[in-house]
């Protein structure tokens, strides 16, 4: 092969490289989400333009998360930081400072009217704002709108893609909301009442009319007192509450004890504050809501 032919081959190779180089070099927008449910929303809106990192992983409890030094590095590497807000990530401000990040956190619940914890007649001395806004599908749509705005602000070139992704996902959420309403309608009115370990379903209750009663407050940080547990056992017996449910992020023993002492059946497990991993029953937000309503219907629809 002559030098000239080598040169041509080399130029051709370069041409191929320069065609594919922009696609290869185009760095994905690095987005950090504080917990798994937010991470799923970001993936749905961001699609393949974003690389999502989640701090609190599947089946883990964000209320009591303690960040490791590696987490500060992950925060520092992110262009966009998405938080739930409403006091959910009490550890986040310190982690942000430790990371030295210049990014301003995006609060995904911006615009949602915060719910206060149902009055227990006493205070644990904590903020009683309920952070679990994602448990209403209408609120999830607000999360998606806030995430869409944040991604467009950080990556204006992706505007059309983010808008199209969000639109498709919002349509799925509308269908999901309808599914929840139909499922609840199948449960007799006087049986729409259950016990969970921590008060994570207040927004679900307000949106769909199933009453949730919990011995622990809106955070898992403080343990239920003997008095709270005793009161709930009395209430289960008096109101003939049909079922108690376990959660994927809390210790099952409290609920098992309440079931044993009250005679209520354990209706199954609900996903409250975290998704499962890929192999679990709720690897996405939509899977999680669907799984939860299936559990509710099967425990409550018939006695």
Could you tell me the smallest distance in angstroms from the CB atom of residue 63 to Zn ion?
5
Q: Are strands 29-35 and 50-56 parallel, antiparallel or unpaired?
A: parallel
140 forms part of the interface with Zn ion (CB under 5 A): no
Classify residue 118 by burial, with Cβ atoms within 10 Å: 0-12, 13-18, 19+: middle
Could you tell me the smallest distance in angstroms from the CB atom of residue 191 to Zn ion?
24
Q: Which of 128, 177, 247, 273 binds Zn ion (CB under 5 A)?
A: 273
Judged by CB, which is closer to Zn ion: 45, or 200? 200
Judged by CB, which is closer to Zn ion: 131, or 242? 131
Structure-block tokens of residue 28: 């994905």
Question: DSSP letters along 255-290, please?
Answer: HHHHHHHH--EEEEEE--S----TTSS-SSHHHHHH
Judged by CB, which is closer to Zn ion: 99, or 220? 220
275 forms part of the interface with Zn ion (CB under 5 A): no
Could you give the 3-state DSSP secondary structure of residue 175? helix
Judged by CB, which is closer to Zn ion: 148, or 295? 295
Q: Which of 147, 166, 200, 264 binds Zn ion (CB under 5 A)?
A: 200
Judged by CB, which is closer to Zn ion: 155, or 273? 273
128 forms part of the interface with Zn ion (CB under 5 A): no
Give the range of 32-40, 116-124, 134-142, 195-203 binding Zn ion by CB under 5 A.
Answer: 195-203
274 forms part of the interface with Zn ion (CB under 5 A): no
Judged by CB, which is closer to Zn ion: 40, or 273? 273
Per DSSP, helices labelled H in the chain are: 3-25, 36-46, 69-77, 92-99, 137-154, 159-185, 202-208, 226-239, 252-262, 285-300
Dist CA 298 CA 293 (whole Å)? 8
- Supply φ then ψ for residue 91, to 5 degrees: -90, -5
32 forms part of the interface with Zn ion (CB under 5 A): no
Q: Which residues bind Zn ion (CB under 5 A)?
A: 200, 273
């Amino acid at each position: 092969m002559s030098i000239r032919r080598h040169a041509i081959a080399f130029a051709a190779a370069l041409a191929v490289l320069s065609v594919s180089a922009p696609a290869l070099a185009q760095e994905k927008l690095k987005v950090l989400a504080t917990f798994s449910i937010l991470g799923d929303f970001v993936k749905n809106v961001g699609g393949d333009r974003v690389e999502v990192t989640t701090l609190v992983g599947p089946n883990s409890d964000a209320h009591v998360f303690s960040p490791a030094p590696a987490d500060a590095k992950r925060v520092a590497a992110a262009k966009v930081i998405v938080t739930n807000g409403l006091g959910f990530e009490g550890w986040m401000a310190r982690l942000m400072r430790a990371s030295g990040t210049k990014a301003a956190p995006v609060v995904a619940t911006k615009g949602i009217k915060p719910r206060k914890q149902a009055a227990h007649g006493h205070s644990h001395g904590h903020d009683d704002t309920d952070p679990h806004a994602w448990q209403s599908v209408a609120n999830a749509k607000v999360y998606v709108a806030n995430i869409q705005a944040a991604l467009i602000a950080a990556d204006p070139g992706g505007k059309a893609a983010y808008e199209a992704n969000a639109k498709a996902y919002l349509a799925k959420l509308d269908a999901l909301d309808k599914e929840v309403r139909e499922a609840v309608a199948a449960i007799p009115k006087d049986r729409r009442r259950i016990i969970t370990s921590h008060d994570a379903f207040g927004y679900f209750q307000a949106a769909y009319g199933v009453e949730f009663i919990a011995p622990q407050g809106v955070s898992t940080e403080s343990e239920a007192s003997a008095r709270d547990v005793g009161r709930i056992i009395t209430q289960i017996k008096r109101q003939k509450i049909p079922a108690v449910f376990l959660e994927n992020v809390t210790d099952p023993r409290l609920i098992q004890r309440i079931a044993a002492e009250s005679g209520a059946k354990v209706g199954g497990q609900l996903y409250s504050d975290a998704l499962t991993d890929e192999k679990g029953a709720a690897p996405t937000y939509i899977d999680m809501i669907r799984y939860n309503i299936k559990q509710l219907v099967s425990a409550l629809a018939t006695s």
